[in-house]
Amino acid sequence: MSAEPIVAVSAKPKFVRSRVTYSLYAYFCTFGWFMLGFSPCVPIIAQEQKISNGQAGLIGPALALGLILGALAINRATASLGRKRVLFSASTILTVGLIGLLLSSSFPLTVAATFVCAFGAESIIASVLPGLAVHHQAMAPAALSEGAAIGAAAGLASPFLVGLSISAGWGWRIGISTTIVLLVIACLFLAGMPRVGALDGRRLRNAAHPSAARPSKTTGVFWLLWVACICGIALEFSTLFWVPALFSERAGMSLGAAASSASALVLGELIARSISSRLSTRWTLRPLLLVALAVTALGWLIFWTASVPLVAVVGLFIAGLGIGPLQPLTAASLFSVSSGEETKAQSRISIGQGIAIGTFPIILGALSDVTGTFLAFLVIPALVILCAIMLLIATKKVHSAPAPDSYVVAL
């Protein structure tokens, strides 16, 4: 059976990168470095501050609250300031949070600093994602997947550096502190860009999109895809938060080595996002996403049952191959059914991200205190199944629509 084109247009659009694209990619690097590097530090922080896994799981709600409040603020902030100024402001907030996190020696202060970091990081990514979608329109899936791959490439070194630092006796702070350096570089890159087009969200209102003048007819599809997107985010961060503890418990790895092993997940995500960026210009998203979910399940089964460190790391890498495309491709689908309100759609995605990060890691952490980390990781296949169900229902609704918009990404 032949594949359908990604968008319902007669001529295939071309993915062309510009200075705006690369400027926004720089912030993807910063976001990926912090989020992917900080998550594996949670078990280390728990050990350092002598708290239980369940208590350490409270870092998840702190991240979630920061993400949600950042998401709620971003739509109005972008409309009044424009994306360029929002990015500068968000960079300042993230820097303040990072300094607090690095200097903190008590758990309450760590939680507070995590909240500030999350607010700043969310404001950054909530500006970058719709900015890329607005700038590239029908080629948004390719731009978002490539940006996510670049972010994963930056984040790949972060957990590895954290693990090396821990093994050397220097603690977890070295890897995270370099986020400030990346922020400075991203701001310098952005400073030379004019505040026009995708960098000026003040003027990107209803007139910015051909379908924005009429109410969206894809509300049901939007929320189904929203749940699928949440599942993809929950899969990534639940795994990143607690896989070091699983590997320490099941495969006999030291916490330093287990934290470093999280790089295998990020490497898999990097490769998968690079490939999906190209495939998304040729194929519909449904087969890409369903294959990604199947690969995620396979990788989980391998690393979950492994008692040998090498096998566990290989399984985690395979899981990364599956998890990698889920968030950027479901986000691209959500932007395509947002009727020109990309920033508002991103705000809703970010709220969902906050829910995912604030709910599932703490559930997994609390379950690990009761049942052990091994059984707690059954949360992962449950998320895979829920994500698949949402995608299949959304697909059915899209195919039953009488006349899909030309910009709506075909499932």
**CATH number of the domain enclosing 156:** 1.20.1250.20
| Domain annotation covers residue 360 | yes
Residue 4 lies in a domain: no
Between residues 226 and 286, which one has the greater pLDDT? Answer: 226
Q: At a CB cut-off of 8 Å and minimum separation 6, what does 262 contact?
A: 36, 39, 40, 159, 163, 240, 243, 244, 316
Of 147, 154, 111, nearest to 129 by C-alpha is 147
pTM: 0.70
For residue 190, being part of any structural domain is answered with yes
User: For residue 205, what pLDDT band results from cuts at 50, 70 and 90?
Assistant: very low
Residue 241 has pLDDT above 60, yes or no: yes
How far, in Å, CA of 55 to CA of 46, rounded?
8
Rounded Cα gap, residues 120 and 96, in angstroms:
9
Name the nearest CA neighbour of 364 among 382, 379, 343, 385.
379
Any domain includes 2: no
Cβ atoms of 327 and 240 closer than 8 Å: no
Q: Is residue 43 part of a domain?
A: yes
The candidate with the shortest Cα–Cα distance to 67, out of 38, 109, 108, is: 38
Higher pLDDT, 285 or 205: 285
Which tokens hold the place of 368? 């690990």
Confidence class for position 326, pLDDT limits 50, 70, 90: very high
Mean pLDDT over the full length of the chain: 79
Tokens of 390: 């949402």
At residue 373 the predicted structure's pLDDT band, cuts being 50, 70 and 90, is confident
Highest mean pLDDT: which range of 14-23, 61-70, 224-233: 224-233
Q: How far is CA 121 from CA 171, 299, 381, in A?
A: 23, 29, 28
How many whole angstroms separate alpha carbon 319 and alpha carbon 404?
Answer: 33
For the cut 50, the answer to whether the pLDDT of residue 1 exceeds it is: no
Q: Reply yes or no on whether the pLDDT at 196 is more than 60.
A: no
In a domain, 6, yes or no: no
How many distinct structural domains can be found in the chain?
1
User: Which amino acid is present at 369?
Assistant: D
Tell me the C-alpha to C-alpha distance, in Å, between residue 290 and each of 21, 65, 323: 28, 30, 11
Q: What is the pLDDT of residue 195?
A: 63
How far from 149 is each of 25, 37, 285, 303, 410, CA to CA, in Å? 10, 15, 17, 23, 22
pLDDT of 202 > 60? The answer is no
Q: pLDDT class for 29, splitting at 50, 70, 90?
A: confident
Paired with 7 in beta bridges are: 409
What is the reported pLDDT for 340?
A: 66
Q: Rounded to 5, what percent of the chain is helix, strand, coil?
A: 80, 0, 20
**DSSP 3-state of 170:** coil
Within a domain: 45: yes
Q: Residue 300 sits in which domain range?
A: 19-400
Residue 399 binned pLDDT confidence (cut-offs 50, 70, 90): low
Does residue 40 sit in helix, strand or coil?
helix
pLDDT at 209: 43
Residue 8 within a domain: no
Most confident of 99-108, 166-175, 220-229: 220-229
pLDDT at 366: 84
Q: Check residue 12 and give its pLDDT.
A: 53
Provide the pLDDT for residue 298.
Answer: 97
Measured CA distances, 123 to 64, 69, 373 (Å): 13, 9, 33
Query: Which residues make beta-bridge pairs with 409?
Result: 7
**Does residue 218 carry a pLDDT above 60?**
no
103, pLDDT greater than 80:
yes
Tokens found for residue 286: 């449904």
Q: Give the pair of three-digit tokens for residue 215.
A: 């109410």
Tokens of 128: 């970058």
Q: Mean pLDDT, to the nearest integer, of 347-375?
A: 83
* pLDDT, position 295: 97
pLDDT at 5 over 50: no
Q: Which of the pair, 108 or 212, is modelled with greater confidence?
A: 108
Q: Which residues contact 210 (CB under 8 A, 6 or more apart)?
A: 340, 405, 406, 407
